[in-house]
Amino acid sequence: MTQVPRIRQTREPRLITRCVVEFERLDDHVVAESEDLSRRGVFVRTDALLPVGAVTELQIALPGQLEFRVIARVAHLLSPAAARALGRHVGMGFEFLETNSDGRQALVDYLDDLLEELTPAPQPG
């Protein structure tokens, strides 16, 4: 039997980081904390859940007083029951959306530079 090669998808590099993420929910200003951050999105620890598909503006404050405003869509939720079952925190995964603003691109550029600094150089074989 011939074995079919499988394409292995690599996951987007994620930074495990705690930074302040702010957004609006039902006329309330929510201040939460990130769990991880990538070029494509952020997982936010919060009980103030939005529905999947909701679009909102996030203000992300990184160490060193860097702040980015990005438009994001709720891609998935981790409800209290699911979080307990998985031993994780309640929260939402946001996907950054393409917009005409500079916020998303500035954040992506910052993360690219940071990931390059953190990635070890290849070792000679």
Q: What is the pLDDT of residue 114?
A: 74
Q: What range does the domain containing 60 cover?
A: 15-117
In a domain, 31, yes or no: yes
In a domain, 3, yes or no: no
In a domain, 51, yes or no: yes
Q: Do 80 and 74 meet the contact criterion of CB atoms below 8 Å apart?
A: no
User: How many helices (H) and strands (E) are present in the chain, helices listed first?
Assistant: 2, 7
In a domain, 112, yes or no: yes
CATH number of the domain that 108 lies in?
Answer: 2.40.10.220
Give the residue among 72, 64, 63, 66 at the shortest CA–CA distance from 19: 63
pTM for the structure as a whole: 0.77
Residues of the chain with pLDDT under 70: 1-12, 99-102, 115-116, 118-125
Please state the domain count of the chain: 1
